[in-house]
Structure 1
Amino acid sequence: MVMNKINLSKRSIDIAYREEGQGTPVLLLHGFCGSSAYWNSVFPLLSPTCRVIAPDLPGHGLSGVPAAPYSIEDYADDLLQFLQLLGIEKAVWFGHSLGGYITLAAAERHAGRMAAFGLIHSTAYPDDDKGKENRLKSIQTVQSSGIAAFIDGLVPKLFAPEHVETMQTKIHEAKEIGYCTSQEGAVRALEAMRSRPDRTGILASAECPVLLVAGENDQIIAPDKTFTVHHNRVRQALLKQVGHMSMMEDPQQLAPVLIDFVQSLR
């Protein structure tokens, strides 16, 4: 896997990214404590028909760590600059989990720069009171016990319950990816997710095509938290027998959904 780097002058940080293929630009944004490596099995399926670009989000993988404070809106603005530096005026954005929150912020702030967008195991709802409390507990765990201990507790929950035993290799891979998240990067992301607003209205008012993808057995974001809007510009796809990590659990089921959506735009 060849990784490139590009510098965001506004932040004075480097963004590491992987790029393959030609055609419609497709931006893949991974989830919390992930990296572009989450998409390793999806790349060869999408790149024959699309120009696929997957960055490591700031504070994750090989990318630099932004200074605090850093909001979901800051992620969105920085990724827009990232695309501009690559010479891309419009792209299809697909955001997994945290990446979906960023995608919605970009749709709100930079709608004219999106050809279409999709949420993959994500939601437009904000954290409720319990969710906000859990973010604070996670911050405390990261700061007191370190990133490795936090990742060891987090990753098994991302997979469907039936896959915790049968996909040990994938779980190990996801943990190894997570260990590369900096402690500061994890805290920045937790703070940003905790303070993000309700963006269900952005889904309802979107003027571009929207794709919503949920996992049947997702323990983190249940399908009803993803499928919150129903109108003729919104497609829904419920993936069978996967949890929060379809790109690793069943890329052969996820990729055709993404390809079909992108091809429908032409």
Structure 2
Amino acid sequence: MLNIRSDNPAGRDGVLKSLALPDGTDMAYRDAGQGPVLLLVHGWAASGRFFDPIVDLLKQDFRVIIPDLRAHGQTPAGPGRPDIDTLADDLVVLLDTLDITGAVALGWSMGAQVLWSLIERHGADRLAGLVVEDMSPRILNTDDWPLGMASGMDTAGSQRALDAMRSNWPAYAAAFVRHIFSRDRASRDPDLIQRVLVELHQCDAEAMAALWESMAGQDFRPALPAMSLPVLVTWGEASQAYNPATSRYLVDTLPNAQGKAFAQSGHAPHLEQPEEFAEAVQQFASQVQAGVTHPENIEGSFSS
């Protein structure tokens, strides 16, 4: 269950830490547990607290670093318009300041774009492996790219979304939140939907629009074949954001990738099947950080 409480901004692990970025923005992050490092990078309009359901499970074996990206959670947007490349540069500052190398990084949704940008801009030397959670290397669909957003969103549809979020962010957030989960999740767990919606309402509409524009402009397809580090691609079979074929494309295109599907999840398996998702991440990260060049294939599906 998502553990979001307004009187506990740090989530489950005590005092929220902060790091001064080069432009003066204070990045908030949590640092839980001990051992090999897992870096958890959240999605658009979310925060590090969205990982609360898996932090307690992962910190038993790992040191888990959970930042709030710029313009999310407890980290302000800072000067200028936030974009994917800036968020990637911020993560490099975080890793370098904490003197972290050999981390396994998990990117959920937009978080995967941020990590792909980090690798493109700074190389993969700081990372031992990557977990991608339900994301496409290009989110907008074209005549020759049908593996963007499952809704079929194209450039015109993206502009309509931008207009809607700028004109009435609360209404847009209320419509968006249901698409994070499998279709029946709202009826089965309305409290979860409401807690997530409260978080989304705290986001600044213009900052979210700027980041959406940046996401929509990204195309990481040409970069994928050169990303040779071990990758675990995860997805929800009931995702309303991206079709399972999108994640299977990543498994086929990345040179050292394996896949794991979660049959009862939508766009956020770490929220809908947290125990099973944490188990898959633990297994993959343990193999990678033990120096296994080609981790044992864990491709399959968790259904319970």
* TM-score of the two chains, using structure 2 as the length reference: 0.82
| Alpha carbons 1:107, 1:202 under 8 Å: kept | no
Task: Indicate which of 227, 233, 251 corresponds to 1:212.
Answer: 233
Query: Aligned partner of 1:96: which letter?
Result: W
What is the Cα deviation at residue 22 of structure 1? 0.9
Aligned partners of 2:19, 2:216: CA distance in 1, in Å? Answer: 28
Q: Where does residue 200 of structure 2 map in the other structure?
A: 178
Q: Does 1:249 align with 2:269?
A: no
Q: Where does residue 97 of structure 2 map in the other structure?
A: 85
Query: Aligned partner of 1:39: which letter?
Result: F
* TM-score of the two chains, using structure 1 as the length reference: 0.93
Query: Aligned partner of 1:131: which letter?
Result: D
If you compute each CA radius of gyration, which structure gives the higher value, 1 or 2? 2
Partner SS, residue 40 of structure 1: helix
Aligned residue runs from structure 1 range 120-199, under 5 A: 120-129=133-142, 130-145=153-168, 147-197=169-219, 199=220
Query: Aligned partner of 1:244: which letter?
Result: H
With a CA cutoff of 8 Å and minimum separation of 6, indicate the structure with the bigger relative contact order: 1
Partner SS, residue 18 of structure 2: strand
Compared with structure 1, are the counterparts of its residues 18 and 107 closer, same or farther at alpha carbon in structure 2 (3 Å cutoff)?
same
What is the Cα deviation at residue 164 of structure 1? 1.9
Partner SS, residue 42 of structure 1: helix
Unaligned segments of structure 1, at least 5 residues: none
Q: What are the superposed Cα offsets for residues 199-243 of structure 1, whole Å, 9 maximum, x if unpaired?
A: 234332222101100101001011111121337621100111110
Task: Indicate which of 250, 254, 261 corresponds to 1:238.
Answer: 261
Query: Aligned partner of 2:266: which letter?
Result: G
Q: Between Structure 1 and Structure 2, how many residues are aligned?
A: 263
What is the Cα deviation at residue 131 of structure 1? 3.2
Compared with structure 1, are the counterparts of its residues 233 and 201 closer, same or farther at alpha carbon in structure 2 (3 Å cutoff)?
same
What is the Cα deviation at residue 133 of structure 1? 2.5
| Alpha carbons 2:44, 2:109 under 8 Å: kept | yes
- State the Cα RMSD in Å: 1.7
Q: Where does residue 285 of structure 2 map in the other structure?
A: 262
What is the Cα deviation at residue 70 of structure 1? 3.5
Aligned partners of 1:142, 1:96: CA distance in 2, in Å? Answer: 21
| Alpha carbons 1:66, 1:185 under 8 Å: kept | no
Q: Which has the larger helix fraction?
A: 1
Aligned partners of 1:7, 1:179: CA distance in 2, in Å? Answer: 26
Query: Aligned partner of 1:58: which letter?
Result: R
| Alpha carbons 2:82, 2:207 under 8 Å: kept | no
Q: What are the superposed Cα offsets for residues 62-102 of structure 1, whole Å, 9 maximum, x if unpaired?
A: 10104334432221111111211222133211100000111
Q: Does 1:64 align with 2:64?
A: no
Q: Where does residue 30 of structure 1 map in the other structure?
A: 42
Structure 1 stretches of 4+ moved >6 Å: none
| Alpha carbons 1:156, 1:171 under 8 Å: kept | yes
Q: Where does residue 119 of structure 1 map in the other structure?
A: 132
Aligned partners of 1:232, 1:118: CA distance in 2, in Å? Answer: 14
What is the Cα deviation at residue 184 of structure 1? 2.8
Unaligned segments of structure 2, at least 5 residues: 1-10, 143-152, 291-304
Aligned partners of 1:23, 1:261: CA distance in 2, in Å? Answer: 15
What is the Cα deviation at residue 44 of structure 1? 0.4
What is the Cα deviation at residue 189 of structure 1? 1.2
